[in-house]
Amino acid sequence: MIKGSLQVSHGTYYVVVNYKDEYGKPKQKWISTELREKGNKTKAKQKMKEFLKSFEINQNLHNEQNSNEDVLFVDFLNNFLVIKKNTIEPVTINMYNKLAENISKYFKNMRLKLKDLKPYHIEGFYKSEYARGLSSNSVLKYHVLIRECLQYAFINDLVLVNVADKVKRPKVEKFKASFYDIKEIEKLFEVIQDNECKLPIMLTAMYGFRRSEVLGLKWNAIDFANKLISVQHKVLETKIDGKREIYLSDKLKNQTSNRTLPLLLQAEQLLLDKKNEIEKNKVLLGKNYDNRYLDYVCVDNLGRLILPNRLTKNFIKILRKNNLRKIRFHDLRHSCASIMLSNGVPMKQIQEWLGHADFSTTANIYSHLDYSTKLNSANTMTNVFAFSQTQEKEEKTDKTQELEQEIERLKNIIAEKEDEEYLEWKKQKEKRKKDFEM
């Protein structure tokens, strides 16, 4: 039985796990819950239960493998996901669980042991997924999960080699983003003036926010005095233990996702209008107003938080109802980047505006839209070659002039020589005439 307790260190709850290693020697391990002490004791206790459960499964799995080499690959995969549950975000573990379901369906009837798994087994699974119509990017997700699972087995000496490393990694298909131009954005803004999702749609088009970021905006992230807006929180929907739940977190996609941007004049007015609207609704509805999400910007008239799926469905209805070209909600982010590019904003600045982890991400997605930069390059090269041709022409003219001068000089020499010969001939003729007369 694994035992544990909650301890506080530097204002953060830690789970202290007491266990015995394979030699029976007592060990202790501290695991951070990433929860601050104030107001989080109940959550910390729940996390401790989850940590202890996954830790015990991990220990049992290791002991079982040491004593029994007949563990099936699908069983090991499912146990691996239980271990991973407390180290990755619920949204990711939910995706992994869905992937694992399909992997299990394929391998279950094979009764394939972990130690007997070969590269051709994995390749066969990938082929079956391609046959179902999945893209290379989708199959890559399976590859990432299978490789990570087998790497865990390899590190813990449960297998001699990670056979996934011998399988050809599915290629990433280059993504070509869809986007609205500025006229289409203007039309979209016109038709959403009375829609409950007006604010998140307009802010996304202006700032290129991710859906989770715009819905995660809080009033304390809006600095009206200094005209700044910060991205530091997200709202997601996912299944946790089989139940669909709202997932709120300050942990964004990457470090650069946390960013502070200038507050645009149009955005400032939108936010001030929303603030006034919320105050009116609170007075109008009284106790019926939902006070759970007072910190959040994107709420409906009843005070309820606008959730990701609701925003997406509403966006699709808006486009269909108003005969607007079909794009995804996320394509508003691409539209923002496209408009910035077409107005001469450098790619590096767009990367920082969007919160991409590195420049290559921005360049790979939007390089085909960067026509202005290509036009500048073309103009530069045109000027270079124009100069080269002019220089060549000038050099050719100079050489022609030199040649003409040389020909003229030679003509003069010949003429002078002819004159000398003529005079000599004339002189000799006169002399012969005189001699004859004598």
Q: How far apart are the C-alpha atoms of 212 and 306, rounded to whole Å?
A: 11
Strand-pair partners of 247: 236
Q: What is the DSSP letter of 256?
A: G
Q: Residue holding tokens 């041709």?
A: 389
pTM for the full predicted model: 0.68
Coil, helix or strand at residue 177: coil
Strand ranges, E, within 147-252: 222-223, 228-231, 234-240, 243-249
Q: What is the dihedral of CA 90, 95, 100, 106, to 10 degrees?
A: 170
Torsion of CA 305, 311, 314, 320, to 10 degrees: 170
Distance CA 356, CA 213 (A): 13
Distance CA(104)–CA(75), nearest Å, equals 9
Tokens of 24: 């029976």
Residue 141 to residue 99: CA distance in whole angstroms? 8
Phi/psi for 178 (5° steps) reads -95, 155
Q: Note the pLDDT of residue 68.
A: 46
One digit per residue, the tens of pLDDT, for the chain of length 438 reads 567 788 888 888 888 887 766 556 777 778 888 788 888 888 888 887 877 777 665 665 555 555 446 789 999 999 999 888 877 888 888 899 999 999 999 999 999 999 999 999 999 999 999 999 999 999 999 999 999 999 999 998 889 999 999 999 998 877 677 889 999 999 999 999 999 999 999 999 999 999 999 999 999 999 999 999 999 999 999 877 677 888 888 888 777 788 999 999 999 999 999 999 999 999 999 999 999 999 999 999 999 999 999 999 999 999 999 999 999 999 999 898 888 888 888 878 888 888 877 656 666 666 555 555 555 555 655 565 564 455 555 555 666 677 777 777 776 766 666 666 656 656 665 666 566 555
Q: Which residues contact 61 (CB under 8 A, 6 or more apart)?
A: 71, 76, 79, 83
d(CA 304, CA 179): 30
The answer for residues whose C-beta is within 8 angstroms of residue 278's C-beta and 6 or more apart is 299, 303
**Residue 386 to residue 381: CA distance in whole angstroms:** 8
HEC string of 10-75? CCEEEEEEEEECCCCCEEEEEEEEEEECCCCHHHHHHHHHHHHHHHHHHHHHHHHHHHCCCCEHHH
